[in-house]
Structure 1
């Protein structure tokens, strides 16, 4: 049962001084070839596959046949990438409006801007009274595969009545079978990816003391020159050091890359694909596509899309093992955001969920001091030779992540092309204007600050790794309503999780003990 939603505008909307019109929200019309998330629509192909994947034996056999056919089609014509299951933007008049989607599964990947997305979900669910599937601590047993039993308050079927969960969004290693024990199959599944070169820079500084491979390496450059001198599959924390995105998505690894931790079981294919991954050799430039094919600045969306569509050197699809994994992810996830195009991704997310822009306006969270330098350097046209080699080596070493990233980067730009260039540019400009307005109104200094200035423990982010994690300090003199909304925007993920936990599981009220009156002898 969905809680009542607020009818009054949010404080964030009231704070925003931008007067741009709202983006129209629509469900797919008859001209679309995909199913809708609207209540009266039929289950989409992805939803059906989620049900079949872990259903009775007969359905699993049917799925096996479907997967075999779909895999062959993937190799021949890339139809998976053209298939979209969520409600898509209509470039013409909307066919009909659709209600905000509030059954959400967000796979929170590491060091990919996911904490900022989590902040949006925390705030939205908190404001609308939605119920979160929360871990007992702060992660669902990571790096082990997700298990439903780790959700606080979860009861298996037949174990008594329980309120439904609306949002599952905290750190996990994805495990579809167990996720579907907690969340309905028609939930909106989404995640976020980041270029593995930028991710490697962030992960090295953040997990330096956690990963044995990183701890032994004097620098990231030294590690990437000869990673096998430091990396040992299955060693403590070394899943952070190679193909971290692939690991977080719960995908199986080729035999030579498997760790001691378990891998999920995919549906068995009567003719399993030949395992083949990109090799690592002495020439890193030969292992990764030309960075300019993805990151050369483009003045228009159409130009960048044409670059992304060209097959120039992007031959990662030659690996049947990789393509099999990507096709499986395509069958599960409705949308995958891209960190390098964060604002564009948020606009698409708002459109897919039938949310307003105010619902996805927020501040960056868990950002390391100077962390944006890496993203800007990768996206710049003129990379210094040393940085270019570091980038190429990082992509080659994390070859599964690179394939995953290229795939979802392409799919993002395909959705942008469908959404419309001028419409996207207008929405992104409005989103950024609203964020700037909120930052000026809510924050002391109007931006993120060094944690030494943040004395309020409710707003001070958890410090981990060798680099400072930036946070926010609120301005004084805010009204009570603005103070509440600004706190929602500025609260770090750990403190917000505790807040939601206390709201959903309030501690029992202890009554004072009553003693009988002693009678006089």
Structure 2
């Protein structure tokens, strides 16, 4: 997966057919008019990314660790675990983070550079921005991100199967989303989402196409009106799925995006219907293809939660980091949910669970398009990396994680928060399910204590720690002393 070269750009916008071209440009024009922020022309200094190629081995002289990083932290996709490894890496190497005043950059509004603590327009040192890592929750806005981070930064993010994401989001944002709050259960919500969901209602961006929203992409015109798109797109025919023996998530093989949106019969709004989804319209399909191509031109890597460890190995390779730099513990996991990042997929599910999965993917059809696209591109990258080589690296990564857990953690695993008395390691509790955390073993050596604390510190406490380190409180001089020092 790599950015668009000039040739690929010409192919993307080339007049393959008059009808499709007209639809594409009309849609883009509409999007630019209403959503110009994230889709501004690239700034003169922005370098278009080269097509992805296998990076050299860390031992190669030409491979230098990447330290200018932009991580789009998407919701409920395993991103807190990625955030922890970025916190630890930056903390160990004395890097500067672009931090929010609180814990998010004005979310759900689009990211603005002015929300970065310590940011000053044109405030570059030696022609370089003072920040190394931008990684906290935001709604992506490339134009403003490039005011804070250099254009040659490594951009990456993570996606998750929208069916698994919906289950987690419903539990976590039950009190935040008006649509979820009104629904007695996720099954009831997905059986008739229009009975609960109102576009633009407070918190309802959590209830539909949350990944698409977090990436800052505009929505197709028919989804912007309260009366538009009355029926959710029907469940796509699932692409042929394969998996590694060590993984449980789906691997998308389908190369035809239009096949992702094949209509099937479902029950919607109390009536059994078979209808072509809005997304199968050539204009909407072109809109989605354009959005995905745009993301390809910006992001160097998009990880897949269902292949979290495989994604970490590829991340370490792309950044010229070692495995120790990306090994860590799962953060922000909910009790009763998946322990780890694998998904059940469709295998072994009951008929009711398969129906729930199908409805979740259909309702979140833009997220499903994102997921299929980046799942496929991840596997293309795995094939270039070498599957046997990858399996060896994943096994080593998991062995190191297990060794760290035995060395650092009481019980060797995540615990219910009621067992965590030290507030430094007690995760923030939100939603209906308990968020698990870690308790350190006693008697650790000073070196182990420091590293284990980094591994176990939740994202909010770590952000506060980094803020205190970067912006130490100023000590005011007492008034009498000040008078003595005055000339």
Question: In which range does the TM-score fall when normalised by the shorter chain?
Answer: 0.7 to 0.9
Aligned to 1:128: 93
Residue 455 of structure 1: which of 405, 421, 436 is its match? 421
3-state SS of 1:190 partner? strand
- Given that 1:472 and 1:490 are in contact with CA atoms closer than 8 Å, whether structure 2 keeps it comes out as yes
| Cα shift at 1:87 | 5.6
1:147-203 CA distance string (max 9 Å, x none): 000000000016998961000000000000000000000000000000000000000
> How far did residue 321 of structure 1 move?
1.2
In structure 1, C-alpha distance between the alignment counterparts of 2:96 and 2:482, rounded to whole Å: 42
What does residue range 421-500 of structure 1 map to in structure 2 within 5 Å?
421-500=387-466
Correspondence 1:280 to 2:222: no
Give SS of 2:98's match.
coil
1:378 corresponds to: 344
Residue among 209, 213, 219 paired with 1:243 = 209
Q: Which residue of 2 aligns with 1:70?
A: 12
The answer to whether the Cα contact below 8 Å between 2:305 and 2:342 also exists between their aligned partners in 1 is no
Q: Relative to 1, partners in 2 of residues 1:102 and 1:331: Cα closer, same or farther, differing over 3 Å?
A: same
Q: Which residue of 2 aligns with 1:407?
A: 373
2:199 to 233, 237, 250: 233
Distance 2:111 2:95 in 1: 22
What is the CA-CA distance between 1:376 and the residue it aligns to?
5.8
Shift, 1:45, TM fit: 5.8
**TM-score, normalised to structure 1's length?**
0.76
Equivalent of residue 290 in structure 1, options 218, 238, 250: 238
Matched, 1:144 2:144: no
Q: Is this contact kept in 2: 1:211–1:237, CA < 8 A?
A: yes
- Partner SS for 1:497: helix
Equivalent of residue 183 in structure 1, options 149, 167, 171: 149
Give me the whole-angstrom Cα distance separating, in 2, the residues matched to 1:118 and 1:74: 42
- Whether the 8 Å contact between 2:417 and 2:435 is mirrored in structure 1 is yes
Any conservation in 2 of the 1:290–1:313 contact (CA below 8 Å)? no
1:173 aligned to 121, 139, 158, which one?
A: 139
Contact 1:451 1:460 in 2 (8 A): yes
- d(CA) in 1 for partners of 2:11, 2:100: 38
Separation of aligned partners in 2, 1:84 and 1:245: 25
Give how far 1:255 is off.
2.0
Q: 1:516 to 1:300 in 2, by over 3 A?
A: closer
Instruction: Answer yes or no: is the 8 Å Cα contact 2:3–2:50 preserved in 1.
Output: no
- Aligned-partner Cα distance in 1 for 2:70–2:98: 10
Q: Return the alpha-carbon distance in structure 1 between the equivalents of residues 91 and 306 of structure 2.
A: 28
Q: 1:324 — aligned with what?
A: 290
Check 1:201–1:72 CA distance in 2 against 1; reply closer, same or farther (3 A cut). farther
* Consecutive unaligned residues in structure 1, runs of 5 or more: 1-33, 35-43, 50-62, 77-82, 261-275
Distance in 2 of aligned mates of 1:324 and 1:516: 62
**Distance apart, 1:71 and its partner CA:** 3.9
CA contact 1:131–1:504 (8 Å) conserved in 2: yes
Gaps of 5+ in 2: 21-48, 262-279
Q: Secondary structure at the match of 2:480?
A: coil
Task: Describe the SS at the equivalent of 2:158.
Answer: strand
**C-alpha displacement at 1:299, in angstroms?**
3.7
Per the alignment, in what secondary structure is the counterpart of residue 372 of structure 1? Answer: coil
Larger deviation, residues 215-224 vs 150-159 = 150-159
State how many pairs are aligned.
Answer: 429
Q: Distance in 1 between matches of 2:66 and 2:457?
A: 24
Give the C-alpha shift of residue 232 in structure 1: 0.3
* Contact 1:87/1:352 (8 A) holds in 2: no
Q: Distance in 2 between matches of 1:45 and 1:221?
A: 38
Taking the aligned partners of 2:482 and 2:340, their CA distance within structure 1 comes to 70
Whole-angstrom distance in 2 between the partners of 1:312 and 1:326: 11
Distance in 1 (alpha carbons) for counterparts of 2:334 and 2:244: 27
Q: Secondary structure at the match of 2:476?
A: coil
Tell me the residue number matched to 2:188.
222
SS for the counterpart of 1:352 is: helix
Give the aligned partner of residue 311 of structure 2: 345
Cα 1:259–1:496 shift into 2, 3 Å: farther
In the alignment, the residues of structure 1 paired with residue 124 and residue 391 of structure 2 have an alpha-carbon distance, to the nearest angstrom, of 50
Q: Report the equivalent of 2:274.
A: none
CA 1:134/1:482 → structure 2, altered by over 3 Å: closer, same or farther? same
Call closer, same or farther: CA 1:325–1:422 in 2, change over 3 Å: same
Q: Given the superposition, is the C-alpha separation of residues 516 and 144 from structure 1 closer, same or farther in structure 2, using an over 3 Å criterion?
A: closer
2:356, 2:434 → 1: CA distance? 23
- Tell me what 2:264 maps to: none
Instruction: Give the Cα separation in 1 of the matches to 2:483 and 2:393.
Output: 71
Q: 1:369 and 2:335 equivalent?
A: yes
CA shift for structure 1 position 298: 4.7
Please state if 1:157 is matched with 2:122. yes
